A = this chain, B = another copy of it.
Amino acid sequence: MKIVINQDKLINSIQNVTKAISSKTAIPILAGLKIQADHEGVTLTGSNSDITIESFIPKEEEGIQYIDELIPGEIIVHASYFPDIIRKLPSETVEIEVDEQLQVTIRSGNSEFDLNGQDAEEYPQLPKIQTDSTFELPINLLKHMIKQTVFAVSTSETRPILTGVNLKVENNELHFIATDSHRLAASKLPLSIDQEKFPFEQIVIPGKSLNELNKILDETDETIQISVTDNQIIFQTEHLFFLSRLLDGKYPETSRLIPEESKTIIYAQTKNLLQAVDRASLLARENHNNVIQLQTIDDKTIEVTSNSPEIGKVEEDVTINQIDGEELKISFSSKYMIDALKIMDTEQVKIEFTGAMRPFIIKPTDHDQLLQLILPVRTF
C-alpha cells in the first residue's frame, strides 16, 4: 500500500473515526485504526463494541486532488500514535507506505516515521447489511432531535434499555423519547412517507452512539441516509458511514406518564426562567438532588427559591406572562429544569402542572413537537 495524501483531509477523517476507538478495548486490534486504499480513494475505520465509523477520502472531488499517488492495500496503525503524528507533520502532503513486513513508513518534509503496523486481515469484518429499511432526514433536523432528547437518557446501567433513545413511529410521526425515570424528553416530527412503509416501528439507540454521531455531523441541511436491521442502525452520508448496535429489550410505554389535564399553567419567558432557576440552583448543589421550590405569587409573578441551612437561601421573583388555574407550590430538581429549558427552541414556554405531587410538562408555546416532563420532589 502507498498513498500520497492531503494532510488536512486526512486529519479530518482521523478525527471522525477515532471517536469510535478506545484504548480500553477487550479486542486489542480494535485499539488500532484501519487504513484501506483502493482505486477510488482511502477509507479509515474505527470501531468499538458499540459503534463503527468509516470515513472515506476520495482521490479527487469537485476538481480538487486529495490523493496524488495510490497503490491499493490495507493496514492497521496505532490509534494512540498515528493521529498525533499526522497532525504534527511539517508538510501539507503526507506519504504513507506499507512494506511486506507491515512496517508503515510516514514521510513528510524531512521527517520520517517508521511504525509497526498490524495485519488488516485480523480486523473484524464489518457486517454487510442488506436492507431496504431506509429513510432519510435532513442532518440539522436529526442533530436537533438528538440534542433535544439524548441528555435525558439514564446514566445508570440498572435498566440498560433506559440508556438509549427510543425512536418510534406512531400517528404518522417519528418520535424520539428518552427518560431516566425521573424526567422525560420527547421530540417528534411528521413523516413524509406513509407509516406502513417506514422501516421500523420502534428501536432503541444507545445514547452514547447518538452523542458521538452528533459530534461528527456538521450542521447542514443535506440529508443523511438511515438504515435499520434487527440489531443495528446505519447512518450514511456521501463520505461517512456510522454504524451503531441497537439496545435489546422492550422500551417502556411512556405515553401514560404524560398527564392529560392540568390544574395550573404558567407561560414564561424561557431565558428569564432559565436564569432564575440557574441562580436558585447555586444554593441547591449541596443536596444531591439540587432541589429548588417554585411558587405562584400572583397572576404575573412566580417565586423561585432554594434553601440550604448551612449556606443560606435565595429568593427570586420572576415576572411571567400569564398564570391560569390554581395556586401552586412545588419542588423539583433544578438540574432537570435547566436541562429542559436549555433545549427549548422558542422564546416562551408553557408549563403545565397537575398539583405538587404529579409530573409536570414543559412545552414550547409555538409548536407541539417538543415535550419535557419532570417528576417533582416531595418536600412540603
Contact = CB atoms under 8 A, between A and B. Distances in A.
Contact of A85 (B90, B115, B282): B282
A113 B283 contact: yes
A197 interface: no
A84 B280 CA distance: 11
Q: Which of A104, A111, A313, A315 has the most CB of B within 10 A?
A: A111
Nearest to A85: B282
Contact of A90 (B110, B113, B275): B275
Contacts of A318: 110
A187 to B, nearest CB: 28
A104 B314 CA distance: 11
Contacts of A275: 88, 90
A174 to B, nearest CB: 37
Contact of A110 (B89, B110, B282, B316): B316
Contacts of A88: 275, 278-279, 282
Contact of A314 (B114, B283, B313): B114
A68 B282 CA distance: 27
A344 to B, nearest CB: 19
A252 to B, nearest CB: 37
A311 interface: yes
Contacts of A311: 78, 81, 115-116
B282 A312 contact: no
Q: Which of A81, A84, A113 has the most CB of B within 10 A?
A: A113
A339 interface: no
A88 B78 CA distance: 45
A317 interface: yes
A319 interface: yes
B112 A81 contact: no
A306 to B, nearest CB: 9
A312 B114 contact: yes
Interface in A275-334: 275-276, 278-279, 282-283, 310-319
Contacts of A319: 110
A278 B84 CA distance: 10
Nearest to A316: B111
A276 B88 CA distance: 9
27 contacts: A78-B311, A81-B283, A81-B311, A81-B312, A84-B282, A85-B282, A88-B278, A88-B279, A88-B282, A89-B279, A90-B275, A90-B279, A103-B312, A110-B316, A110-B317, A110-B318, A110-B319, A111-B315, A111-B316, A112-B316, A113-B283, A113-B314, A114-B314, A114-B315, A115-B311, A115-B312, A116-B310
Interface of A: 78, 81, 84-85, 88-90, 103-104, 110-116, 275-276, 278-279, 282-283, 310-319
Given A84-B282, A111-B315, A116-B310, 6 more contacts: A81-B312, A85-B282, A104-B312, A113-B313, A114-B314, A114-B315
Question: 9 closest Cβ contacts across the A-B interface?
Answer: A115-B312, A111-B316, A110-B317, A113-B314, A114-B312, A112-B315, A114-B313, A88-B279, A116-B312
